[in-house]
Amino acid sequence: MAVYTHVPAEEIDAFLTRYDAGRLVSAKGIAEGVENSNYLLETTGADGKGHRYILTLYEKRVDEADLPFFMDLLDHLGARGCLVPRFIADREGKRLQQLSGRPACLIEFLTGISVTEPTPGQARAAGMALGELHKAAQGFAGERRNALDIAGWHALAAKCGADFDRIDPGLGARVARELAFLDAHWPADLPRSVIHADLFPDNVLMLGDAVTGLIDFYFSCTDIRAYDLAVTHSAWCFSNDGATWHGARGAAIGAGYAQAHGLSDAERAAFPILCRGAALRFLLTRAYDWINTPADALVTRKDPLAYLRRLDFYASVDAAELLGA
């Protein structure tokens, strides 16, 4: 579930009068997602032909001060042909509003569905879409520090402390070893740019093998560009529980990215380490949430060990295995 703030339909209808969006026809809470409250709105549309929008209310993890960065980034990417949802301005030009006591935005609705078992063709399309995103991001002036960089991983690990071993005996020691390895080997001089940083299959909308939308830019930030490919690789190339590696998907993502953007020899050589970092990042955020979310909370906790399995795999292979020869 992801509707933390329940907004009465009358309030949404009144909210919509600020926009050229028509009147509310229906509002449905969207179950997917864990960070924000999302509603799918159907309206009569300014032209009376009916229109769909996403209404997002920002909950604890998104800092309101970061919203202008996300808005400007999506405008920049959208203007360069990326299929990303724009934030919609009201008649006074305002994109950020307050609704039911939360920061709220009306956002363009994109069609498509998220795949759960990607085919190699779909993985290739996702790799291409990421490469195109990185190309389009060139020249974007905004910057945002990645709060979940290596320093952020250390801070999260310290917060989890002794509780790691409640998830899995020995997990605390494994995380400490991995942090020490990454401190010693994390690449310092690879190209940096704005990255999505969370391009999981549930953040890519598709129709068949075609990408129709990239969504959920709320982790986007400035970091090592090829790290974004590593995050995407870790999310697309395994069974959900991390136990099965799908090599054909890895080769397809690598080929799609290389075609759309290109990957240098230095980025390729560092790829297994970048993937270890990506696996640790999601292991840590999931472990933190696991420890700090009551088991009976409405939100479904994601399994941290699914990322421990990925981490162990990434620690045992080379770039050719991960991306194809």
Ligand X SMILES: N[C@@H](CCO)C(=O)O
Ligand Y SMILES: Nc1ncnc2c1ncn2[C@@H]1O[C@H](COP(=O)(O)OP(=O)(O)OP(=O)(O)O)[C@@H](O)[C@H]1O
* Residue 178 binding partner per list ligand X, ligand Y, none, with a CB distance cut-off of 5 to 8 Å that depends on partner kind: none
Nearest-angstrom CA–CA distance, 154 and 150:
6
Q: Which of ligand Y, ligand X, none does residue 286 bind to, with CB < 5 to 8 Å depending on kind?
A: ligand X
The bridge status of strand 210-214 relative to strand 97-99 is: unpaired
Task: Give which of 192, 189, 193, 324 is closest to 259, Cα–Cα.
Answer: 324
Q: Which does 110 bind (CB under 5 to 8 A by kind): ligand X, ligand Y, none?
A: ligand Y
Cβ 92 to ligand Y shortest distance, Å: 22
> Which residue, 298 or 320, has its beta carbon nearer to ligand X?
298
Both ends of the chain: CA-CA distance in Å? 41
Residue nearest to ligand Y (CB): 33
Residue 109: contacted member of ligand Y, ligand X, none (CB under 5 to 8 Å, by partner type): ligand Y
The whole-angstrom separation of Cα 104 and Cα 102 is: 6
Q: Which of residues 22 and 201 has its CB atom nearest to ligand X in the complex?
A: 201
Task: Rule CB under 6 A: say whether 153 interacts with ligand X.
Answer: no
Q: Quote the least distance from Cβ 213 to ligand Y, whole Å.
A: 6
Nearer to ligand X, 52 or 246 (CB): 246
245 binds, among ligand Y, ligand X, none (CB under 5 to 8 A by kind): none
User: By C-beta, is 33 or 324 nearer to ligand Y?
Assistant: 33
DSSP 33: -
Contact 199, 228 (CB under 8 A): yes
Cα–Cα distance for residue pair 55/6, rounded to 1 Å: 12
Residues 125-144 that bind ligand X (CB under 6 A): none
Sequence-ordered strand ranges (E) for the chain? 24-29, 37-43, 51-57, 97-99, 102-108, 192-195, 204-207, 210-214, 221-224
- CA nearest to 186, candidates 217, 140, 223: 223
Residues 294-313 that bind ligand X (CB under 6 A): 302
Would you say 284 or 323 has its CB closer to ligand Y? 284
**Residue 302 contacts which entry, ligand Y, ligand X, none (Cβ below 5-8 A, type-dependent):** ligand X
Compute CA distances 189 → 185, 226, 277, 315, whole Å: 12, 12, 16, 21
Mark residues 198-217: x for contact with ligand X by CB under 6 A, - for none: x-x-----------------
Examine residue 227 and tell whether it contacts ligand X (CB under 6 A).
no
Q: Which residues is 113 bridged to in the sheet?
A: 206
- Rounded to an integer, what distance in angstroms lies between the CA atom of residue 130 and that of residue 273? 19
Contacting ligand X (CB under 6 A), which of 87, 282, 290, 314? 282
Cβ–Cβ under 8 Å, residues 18 and 55: no
Q: Do 188 and 211 form a contact (C-beta atoms < 8 A)? A: no
**Site for ligand Y, rule CB under 6 A:** 2, 30, 32-36, 38, 54, 85, 107-110, 114, 202-203, 213, 215-216, 218
**Which stretch in 41-49, 108-116, 162-170, 282-290 sits in contact with ligand X by CB under 6 A?**
282-290
Q: Is residue 196 within the footprint of ligand X (CB under 6 A)?
A: no
Residues that bind ligand X (CB under 6 A): 198, 200, 282, 285-286, 302
